Chains A and B, each alone.
Chain A
Amino acid sequence: MFLQHVADGLLSGAVIGLGAIGLSFTMKILRFANFSHSELLTWGAYFGLIFFTIAASLGNVFDAPIGPLSFGWGMFVALIFSAVATSALALLLHKLVFEKLNRVAGHMTMVFASFGVALLLRHMVLLIFGPNPIYYSNELQFAVLLPGNVRVLPDQVFLLGLTIIVVFGLHLFMTRSRTGIAMRGVSENPDLSRVAGVNVSSIINWVWIIGASLASVAGVLYGLTVQLRPELGFGLILPLFAAAILGGAGSLYGAVIGGLIVGLSENLSVMIIPTTYKPAVPFLLILAILYFRPEGLFGERK
C-alpha cells in the first residue's frame, strides 16, 4: 500500500505543483499573496469544459478516445484555448483590480482585494454552471495495475507526462528567452531592470499569462482525473500556498517540488494518522517551513 500512496501523492502533487508555479511567481514578482489564484484553476477547468464540448462535437479524432485515455484530441484543443481564455481573464483582473490598487494601496489591501476577487469568481462559476459536480466524460475509467501492486488511471499517467513537459518547457523559456531572462531580472530588482531597459509592465503581463495558463492546465487536469466543482480551486488553496511557500517564492522548481512534497505528505500521512486529519497536513507543512526556513527550500536568504 505504501507504493500506492506514493503514486497517489505524486499525481495529486503534480497538479498542486503546476498551480503553485503561478502563485509563486506572483508572490515574488508582484509582491502580494494572490488568494484569487486558485480560482483561476476553477475557471481554467470550466473553460476547458466549454472548449472540450465544442471540440468533441466536431467528432472524429477530436471525440474518439486516444488509446486507453478517456478523451480524444479535443482535449488538447481545450487545453490550449482554456489557457488563452484564462490568461485573458487574469489580465482583465490585473487591469481592473490589481494594477489600479498597486499604485495607491499597500500589500494588505491587495491581499484582501484578492479575497474579494476570489469570492466573485467562485460564485460566478456557481451561477453559470450550477453547484453539482460535472465530469469531462461520464464514462468511468478503470485503473491499470502496475508492478508493485500500484493502480493508476491512464489519464493520470497522461497528467504526469504533461506536467513534466510543461515544466521543462517553462524552464527553457525562463533560461533561454529574452522575456524569461527579463522576468527573472524584474523579480530580483524591478528598478534596476527598468534602468536596464526592461519594459516592466509588459513583463508583469507575462507573469499573469504564465501563471494563468499553468493554472488552467492544472485545473483541466484536475477536472479530468477527479471532477469539476465550483469549489475546485477553493479546496486547493491551502495545498497551493503550502507548495509555493515550501518551494520559496519565485522558484520554478521550488514550486513543483513543493507541490510534490505536499501531495506526498498528504497521501502518506493517512498511513499514520486517521484520514479525517488529512486536510491539516498542508497547515503543518506551512508552519514547519516558516519556522525552520522561512525563505523556502529554494528561496534565497535575504
Chain B
Amino acid sequence: MFRKSMISALSVAAITLGGVGSASASDCTVKLGAILPVSGPMGQVGERISATGQFAVDQFNEAGGVKGCDVKYVLRDTQGQSTIGVDAAKSLVDIEGVQALIGAVSSGVSLPVLTSVSVPSKITQVSCCSSSESFTALAKEGKTDGYWFRTYSTNRSQAAMGALLTANSGFKKTAVIYVNTDFGVGLAKRYAADIVKLGGSISSMVAYNESQQSYRAEVTTALQGDPDSLFLVAFPVDGSTLTREWLALGGTGNLIVNNSLRSSDYFEAVGSKHLQKLQGYDSAQPRIPSVANFNEMFEERFDGPPNGPGLHSVYDAVTVVLLAMEASDEITGENIRDNIRIVTAADGEEVYPGPEGIKRAKELLAAGKSIRYVGATGGLQFDQNGDVQAPKMTWKLVGDENVETGYFTTEEIADLIKKLDD
C-alpha cells in the first residue's frame, strides 16, 4: 500500500515538475534495435534470446521507460547470415533511426555489422552472445572506437573449460568437430592448443558447414584414429544431425559440447538416453541475489527457468543500453557508448534488475550519481575492449534432467587461462 502510494505520488510529482508522463501516459517512443537469428540454424536459440530481450524492455517500460518515453523493441531477423544481418542493421539505423543495436548472436554476423554499420554510423552495439576473440583484437587495434560491448565472455574461457572437462574425465584422444565460422574455428584452435597442455591429444579436427543435409563424410573422417571422446562445437539443429550420425556410426558417447547445445531441442532430437555420458559447460551466474531475483522474474513470465545460452546476457545487454540512454542528455550512439561506463562504474551505487531496481537506478541517475548495475549475469565490468569476464559452470544430463556438476568463479577461470597461456 505504502509502495503504491509512493509510486503514484512520484509520478504525479514527475508530471507536475517536468511535464513528463509515466509510461502509460507517454506518447513519445525511444527505439532499441535488435538483430537476432530468430530463424535458420540458430532459430531455436535465437527465439528465446529475442523473447528475453523483449522481457527486459517490458520491465524497463514498467519502470517508466527511458526519460519518460516508452521503449520500442524493433527486432530484425538475421537468419544467422552475415549479409542478412548487415542489411537488417542498416535498415534499423537508416530507416528506424535506432542509436543502439542489440546483437547479433553469431560472431560471424556481429563482426560485419560492427565494422560496416555500427562503427561508421557511430551506433553502440552490445552483443549478448558473440564470443569470438576477433573482437578483442579489433578493439585493441582501435578499430571499434569503443562502440563494441558484449555481456558474454570470450572464446578463451570456453576453450579452457572444454579442455578442462576433457582432461578431468581422463580422455586421451579427442576428435574435434566444429562449425566452420569465426566462432567455431577460433574455439576449436584454442581448444586444440589447451588440451595438449592438459595432457590430452587430438585425433582429428573436422570443420563442418552449417545447414548441410547430412554430415556422414565429416563424421567418418572424425572417426578416424579411434578417438575416445568428441569435442563438438555446434548449434542445436546441425548439432543433432551430427550427434545422431556420430553415434549411429559407432562414435563414442563421451561427448564434450559447447554451451549452445545446452538446449532441450538438442536433447530431444538426439534422445536423452543416448546422451547420458555427455558433458558441457556454460556461462554461469554468480550466486548473488540479483541473479536469483532475475531468475524468479523470468520464471514468472515464461513459466520455466532461464536455462539456455544467452538469456541472462541479453537481458543485461538490453538493460545496460537502456540505462545508458537514460543517463544521456541526448540519445545518440556516442552518448550511449560513454554512459555505459557510467552505469557500470566500479565505484557506483549498486542497482538490481526488475522494475523496482530500474526505478531506483533512474532516481540515482537523475540525481547525477554514477551507478553500478548488478544484473542477471552479476556485476558487469566491461574492460577497455568491451569484454566481460564471467563465471562458468559444467553440466551433464541425468535422465532428462540437465544437472549442474561444477561451478568456477571468475578468478578460478582467470587462473586456469593463465596456466594454459604460459
Partners in one complex: yes
Residue of A nearest to B244 (CB): A140
Question: Are A275 and B221 neighbours in the complex by a CB distance under 8 Å?
Answer: yes
Q: For residue A269, which residues in chain B have a CB less than 8 angstroms away from its CB?
A: 217
Chain B, residue nearest A239 (CB): B213
| Distance from B225 Cβ to chain A, minimum over Cβ atoms (Å) | 10
Is A171 close to B, CB under 8 A?
no
In the docked arrangement, what's the CA distance between A3 and B180, Å? 26
Is A65 at the interface (CB under 8 A from chain B)?
A: no
* Stretch in contact with the other chain, from A4-12, A181-189, A284-292: A4-12
Judged by a CB distance under 8 angstroms, whether A202 is at the interface is: no
- Let me know if B110 is at the binding interface, CB within 8 A: no
| A151 and B271 alpha carbons, distance in the complex (Å) | 21
Q: Is the CB of A12 within 8 A of B249?
A: no
A274 pairs with B207, CB closer than 8 A? yes
Segment 224-262 of B: residues with Cβ below 8 Å from A: 224, 237, 240-241, 244, 247-250
CB pair A270–B217 under 8 Å, yes or no, is yes
Tell me whether A236 is interfacial, beta carbon within 8 Å.
yes
Known contacts: A131-B43, A132-B44, A275-B218. The answer to whether A141 contacts B271 by CB under 8 A is no
Given A132-B265, A143-B250, A235-B211, A227–B241 Cβ distance below 8 Å? yes
Contact between A142 and B250, CB atoms less than 8 A apart: yes
Residues of the B chain whose Cβ atoms lie less than 8 Å from the Cβ of A142: 247-248, 250
B223 partner residues in chain A, CB cutoff 8 A: 1
- A140-B244, A142-B248, A153-B248 known; A236 vs B44 contact (CB < 8 Å): no
Q: Given A142-B248, A151-B249, are A132 and B237 neighbors across the interface (CB < 8 Å)?
A: yes
Contact A276/B208 with A133-B240, A141-B248 known, Cβ cut-off 8 Å: yes
Shortest Cβ distance from A227 into B: residue: B241
Q: Is the CB of A236 within 8 A of B213?
A: yes
The answer to whether B314 has its CB under 8 Å from any CB of chain A is no
Of all chain A residues, the one with the shortest Cβ separation from B177 is: A275
Interface members, chain A 137-158 (any B CB < 8 Å): 138-143, 145, 151, 153
Any B CB within 8 A of the CB of A229: yes
Q: How far is the CA of A275 from the CA of B176 in the complex (A)?
A: 13
Partner of B270, one of A8, A131, A140, A271: A140
Chain A residue contacts of B249, Cβ below 8 A: 143, 151
Q: Is the CB of B217 within 8 A of A8?
A: yes
Which residues in chain A, 1-35, are within 8 Å of chain B measured between CB atoms?
1, 4-5, 8, 11-12
Tell me if B's interface is mostly helix, strand, loop or mixed.
Answer: helix
Residue of B nearest to A266 (CB): B217
Determine the distance from Cα of A180 to Cα of B241 in the docked complex, in whole angstroms.
40
Instruction: Tell whether, in the assembled complex, residue B248 and residue A133 are in contact, meaning their CB atoms are under 8 Å apart.
Output: no
* Residues of chain B from 63 to 119 with CB closer than 8 A to chain A in the complex: none
Docked-complex contact B271 and A138, CB < 8 angstroms: yes
Judged by a CB distance under 8 angstroms, whether A232 is at the interface is yes
* Chain A contact patch, size range: 35 or more
B405 at the interface (CB under 8 A from A): no
Tell me, yes or no, whether B307 is within 8 Å of chain A by CB: no
Query: Contact between B39 and A131 (Cβ–Cβ < 8 Å)?
Result: yes
Q: A12-B216, A275-B207 are in contact. Are A140 and B250 (CB under 8 A)?
A: no
Residues in A whose Cβ lies below 8 Å from that of B217: 5, 8, 266-267, 269-270, 275, 278
Q: Which residues of A contact B212 (CB under 8 A)?
A: 235, 279
Q: Interface readout for A224-250 with B: 1 if CB under 8 Å, 0 if not? A: 001101011001100000000000000
- Contact: A275 with B208, CB < 8 Å? yes
A214 to B240, CA, bound (A): 28
Is B214 an interface residue when CB atoms closer than 8 A count as contact? yes
- In the complex, are the beta carbons of B247 and A226 less than 8 A apart? no
Binary per-residue interface labels of chain B (196-228) against chain A in the complex, 1 for a CB within 8 Å, 0 otherwise: 000000000011110111101110110110000
Q: How far is the CB of A62 from chain B (nearest CB, A)?
A: 23
Query: In the complex, A132 Cα to B220 Cα: how many Å?
Result: 25
Which of chain B's residues has its CB closest to A155's CB? B248
- Taking A133-B240, A235-B212 as contacts, is the C-beta distance between A270 and B218 under 8 angstroms? yes
Q: Inside 8 A of A235's CB, which chain B residues have their CB?
A: 211-213
Cα separation A139 to B265 with both chains bound (whole Å): 15
Q: A229 vs B212: C-alpha distance in the bound complex, in angstroms?
A: 10
Complexed CA–CA distance, A235 and B208 (Å): 15
**B143 close to A (CB within 8 Å):** no
Residues of B within 8 A of A (CB): 39-40, 43-44, 180, 206-209, 211-214, 216-218, 220-221, 223-224, 237, 240-241, 244, 247-250, 265, 268-271, 274
Q: Can you give 23 A-B contacts (C-beta < 8 A)?
A: A8-B220, A131-B39, A131-B43, A132-B269, A133-B237, A133-B241, A133-B269, A138-B268, A138-B269, A140-B244, A140-B274, A143-B249, A151-B249, A226-B214, A226-B241, A236-B213, A267-B217, A269-B217, A270-B220, A275-B207, A276-B208, A279-B209, A279-B212
In the A-B complex, the 4 residue pairs with the smallest Cβ-Cβ separation, listed nearest first, are A235-B213, A270-B217, A226-B214, A8-B216
Given A270-B217, A271-B221, A275-B217, 7 more pairs with CB closer than 8 A: A131-B43, A132-B237, A143-B250, A153-B248, A231-B211, A267-B220, A278-B218
